[in-house]
A and B are shown apart, each in its own frame.
Chain A
Amino acid sequence: MWRYIAKRILMLIPVLVGVTFLVFSLMYITPSDPAQLMLGANASPAAYAQMRADMGLDKPFIVQYLRFLFGYKHPVFGYKGLVFGDLGRSYITNRYVFELILSSFPNTALLATGALILSIALGVPIGILSATRPYSFIDMVFTVLALLGASMPTFWVAMVFIFFFANRLGWLPAMSDPANLISIILPMVTLSLNSMAILMRMTRSSMLEVMEQDYIRTARLKGLDEGVVIRKHALRNALIPIITIAGLQFGALLSGAVLTEKIFAYPGIGTIMVDAIYLKDTPQILGSICFVAIMFSLVNLAVDIMYGLVDPRVKETKRGPGRK
């Protein structure tokens, strides 16, 4: 297992190199000028040229990319590079990029974790309920609700929730603040709806498939209680695809809470990423995207490890053939 984890972590390196190269290339061709951004409109041509030289913007693309990865020395603009966990300071806020990310990521993690827990807590049991009563009225009702949950745009749901629960009913705040847990209920529910619907449908189809297996029939014929059959025999075997989807959803929630965070003015990593994009704050954009990519990869790795815990057959496969 440890070799497998080490191998997976090593596999992250080419993924991250690819991500950084892609993001850096996109930023490079974007028509924005960090030197102008730093100096404002009134800079003289000489000051502008000096600023470009100081920031290394006059260097070829590949040199700039390598500097982004491994840093360069300069009394004002120098930094150690992404490899050493330093991307310098934000052009806009003049604060260290990683400091900003670390101040925002826990907020996003809180929101995403809450949304995932809610999705699992409601999505999986409803999926099981639907699967145990296939094509019944209740199954159809939940199927329709799942379709709605999956197809309604997040921003629209967010605005409707704000209108009803904040503006009209006055039950919950419209503006979110991680220090006030009540205030994150609305964004959490908004964010969870889509993944809840997906998990519900995935659980239903996975359970239906398992419920038709011979070993389920055998368990029932043995006279086991239906609840035991569902919990111990069906659900455990149906969990692998559910965990996969839940893991992917968590990764997406960590990186894709952008709209929800913006609408609820929540100070997460999605908010600082979008603000950075609006303001063409290159170090902040690069830092945020790389951080999210790393998080996404780590979550996927954690999901793969969880397979082994849920299904011993997977653990055997990961050990490799002929090894016990």
Chain B
Amino acid sequence: MRKVMAILMAVILVAGLFAQAGGQGPSLKKRDPDTLVVVLTGPPQPLDPNLYTTLNEAQIMHEINETLVGMKTDNTFYPLLAETIPTVENGLISKDFSVYTFKLRKNVAFHNGSPFTADDVVFSFDRILHHPKSSAKSMFSAVMLVEKVDTYTVKIHWGKLKDPSFATAAMNSWADRAKYMTASPYGPALNILSHYCSGIENAATVTAAGADYGTKVVAGTGPYRLDTWPNPTEVNLTRNENWWGGASNVAFKNIKYRVITESPQVNNVLLTGEVDVAYSMSLLDLASLEKAGVKVSSQTGVTIHYGYFNMNSDLVGQKRDGKLDLSGKYDTLDSTHLRKAIFHTINPAPFIRQVDLFNGQALLINQMMQPGFIGYVEGAPAGTPFAEFNERTWYQDRAKARAEFAALTPAFKAKLTPECLTLAVPNTSTSVKLANNVKDQIKTGLGIDLVKVIPMVNSQIIQMRKTGEGYDMIVGNWFTPTADSDYTCLTFNGESIGTGMNGSLYSNEIVNSSIQKGRYSLDPKQRKEAYTAAQVQLMTDKALFPMVCEHTVFAHHPRVGNLASSGFKSKLIDLYRLSKLF
């Protein structure tokens, strides 16, 4: 028996020694050098870019389907399926800036061999705008008409609603758009045309495949085509040998996407070298990854985590006689005082340092606009609300909070029982932690535990945001996939009320008209002034409290070379551009 125990101890000792000797860096043992393995955070939806928009399948579609134009990481554009970028100088933008002409590349074929023509462009935009399942309608709502000029030329007409209160989603055909819209320039035109949702699909293939399109049948023009999709957690692409850009420029022959939902496991497989690229690692352990030779890149992202007050709430809203109003006339309302009191208790600076939340991978943000976007207010201009905030305490100003709280009438104060304010939050780890932090800061700042945090499924929150019923506050996040200010403005544009995107039901004429100016102008200076004015007014009204802008963090194996995200600063990577360095 002693022998057995001695052997057992020896085995444990040897294993321990091996364990100490490990951690020398990612291993490439037994890996297929021609296959790039990329981690997905969840099972992908159908690979049909015109209808589906979540990031899981976006990364895959980004390789399969191509857009008319692409966006570089510095937010400039390059031609993809279009031969050139339209400009006023080259005559491809009309004199009134409302019509863009695109000359299409010739000799481009879809993966199934069908030729790419103007019909496919018209068909794809028709699906985006008028298919009942399309989830990108609002993003492309300024498209008035996509017109085929000849086999290799299309014209995109931009416009705006004749009556701004009319719901864009109610337009179900090109005829509807002609009826309800009028020609207009559109500032973010190229941004949205480079968005993955406008990936061009083959009209005949999509029609023939019916409900199976996107799962069993997929056809794009991109550098990779769908090979197999054996189960929901694995998608395999293979190089498109007939790619117009030249198959020899595509570094890896195959891409394997694997769904790994647990972030610590993502770190593990990066460490072992079983995967090449991931963006859903545990932020707790980035140092270990770097120490082991995994490259980690972090850059300013386009996701804002923010909180907002429901303007329809009796406790923190701003309405009189049942009407919402932020004109400033009702500043003496009790609910306005309480909202401002709460606003001045919030300090998101510690949230960024919190190791189980952002662990340093985020920026403090005092406006809804992401850094680098047109209209992002730099610094703290005098005379604006931004001058009130400082890097240490941010919105938190206990004296102001107490003063606003003291201004409440006794009758209103009597309504403020513990947990009387409902703070709804999407049931995700980050959002729930943020919401609980906000609750604690309000409790500390005002001396009363006013907030009850209620985690909910996202679809329920969207429904509530449409009506403004059932909540006083929400903590959530907003991702701007177009990298243009116009899309961020959907969160506080009065015209978005009822769509589920403007969850605060905030509406201010100055803000709304500024957004209109920014949207329908091509002049960068004018756009900047307009969006800046919107930000200043928004933060004066204190209907929203932007907290942090989350970094986009990638990790990748050294063998794939230098990795940078594609345009949009989103979690998308131009994988075909990767170099294979052995």
B164 on the interface (CB 8 Å rule)?
no
CB–CB A170/B29 < 8 A: yes
Interface digits, A80-93 against B, CB 8 Å rule (1 contact, 0 not)?
Answer: 00000000010011
Q: Please, which residues of chain A bring their CB within 8 A of the CB of B501? A: 41-42
Instruction: Tell me the complex Cα distance, A174–B456, Å.
Output: 33
Within 8 A of A (CB), among B36-81: 42-46, 53
B230 on the interface (CB 8 Å rule)?
yes
CB–CB B231/A107 < 8 A: yes
A17 on the interface (CB 8 Å rule)?
no
Q: Is the interface of A mostly helix, strand, loop or mixed?
A: helix
Whole-angstrom distance between the Cβ of B266 and the nearest chain A Cβ: 9
A38 on the interface (CB 8 Å rule)?
yes
Instruction: Tell me the complex Cα distance, A32–B500, Å.
Output: 16
For chain A, give the interface size range.
35 or more
CB–CB A93/B46 < 8 A: yes
Q: Is the interface of B mostly helix, strand, loop or mixed?
A: loop
Whole-angstrom distance between the Cβ of B14 and the nearest chain A Cβ: 10
- Interchain CB contact (< 8 A) of A275 among B138, B232, B269: B232
B258 on the interface (CB 8 Å rule)?
yes
- Interchain CB contact (< 8 A) of B268 among A38, A39, A162: A162
CB–CB A47/B268 < 8 A: no
B170 on the interface (CB 8 Å rule)?
yes
A25 on the interface (CB 8 Å rule)?
no
On whether A168 and B19 interact (CB within 8 A), knowing A36-B459, A36-B462, A103-B231, the answer reads: yes
A303 on the interface (CB 8 Å rule)?
no
Whole-angstrom distance between the Cβ of B455 and the nearest chain A Cβ: 11
* Residue of chain B at shortest CB distance from A183: B274
CB–CB A169/B22 < 8 A: yes
* Residue of chain B at shortest CB distance from A284: B232
Instruction: Tell me the complex Cα distance, A107–B20, Å.
Output: 34
Within 8 A of A (CB), among B133-153: 133, 135-138
CB–CB B274/A174 < 8 A: yes
Instruction: Tell me the complex Cα distance, A162–B266, Å.
Output: 12
Pair count A-B, CB < 8 A: 154
Interface digits, B253-266 against A, CB 8 Å rule (1 contact, 0 not)?
Answer: 00000111110110
Interface digits, A276-298 against B, CB 8 Å rule (1 contact, 0 not)?
Answer: 00111000000000000000000
CB–CB A103/B230 < 8 A: yes
Instruction: Tell me the complex Cα distance, A173–B268, Å.
Output: 10
Within 8 A of A (CB), among B433-475: 456-457, 459-460, 462-463, 466
Instruction: Tell me the complex Cα distance, A92–B44, Å.
Output: 8
Within 8 A of B (CB), among A13-60: 31-33, 36-47, 50-51
CB–CB B211/A41 < 8 A: no
Q: State which of A64-72, A218-226, A264-272 sits at the interface with chain B.
A: A264-272
Q: Please, which residues of chain B bring their CB within 8 A of the CB of A278? A: 42, 261
Whole-angstrom distance between the Cβ of A57 and the nearest chain B Cβ: 12
B84 on the interface (CB 8 Å rule)?
no
Q: Please, which residues of chain B bring their CB within 8 A of the CB of A267? A: 230-234
Instruction: Tell me the complex Cα distance, A39–B260, Å.
Output: 26
- Interchain CB contact (< 8 A) of B261 among A42, A44, A141, A262: A262
Q: Among A38, A45, A168, which residue has the most Cβ atoms of chain B within 10 A?
A: A168
- Interchain CB contact (< 8 A) of B274 among A33, A93, A164, A175: A175
Q: Please, which residues of chain A bring their CB within 8 A of the CB of B272? A: 166-167, 170, 173-175
CB–CB A92/B22 < 8 A: no
Interface digits, A153-171 against B, CB 8 Å rule (1 contact, 0 not)?
Answer: 0000001001110111110
CB–CB B457/A280 < 8 A: yes
CB–CB A265/B265 < 8 A: yes
CB–CB A39/B215 < 8 A: no
Instruction: Tell me the complex Cα distance, A40–B133, Å.
Output: 8
CB–CB A168/B18 < 8 A: yes
* Residue of chain B at shortest CB distance from A94: B46
Interface digits, B222-242 against A, CB 8 Å rule (1 contact, 0 not)?
Answer: 000000001111100000000
Q: Please, which residues of chain A bring their CB within 8 A of the CB of B462? A: 36, 41
**What are 22 residue pairs bridging A and B, where the CB atoms are less than 8 Å apart in the complex?**
A42-B138, A47-B169, A50-B132, A51-B132, A89-B211, A92-B45, A93-B46, A95-B215, A107-B231, A167-B271, A168-B18, A168-B19, A168-B22, A170-B272, A174-B269, A174-B274, A175-B268, A177-B234, A265-B261, A265-B262, A267-B233, A271-B233
In the A-B complex, the 10 residue pairs with the closest CB atoms:
A40-B135, A168-B22, A36-B459, A44-B169, A168-B19, A33-B459, A267-B233, A267-B231, A174-B268, A265-B260
Known: A92-B45, A175-B275. 6 other contacts (CB 8 A): A31-B457, A41-B500, A94-B46, A162-B265, A264-B265, A275-B233
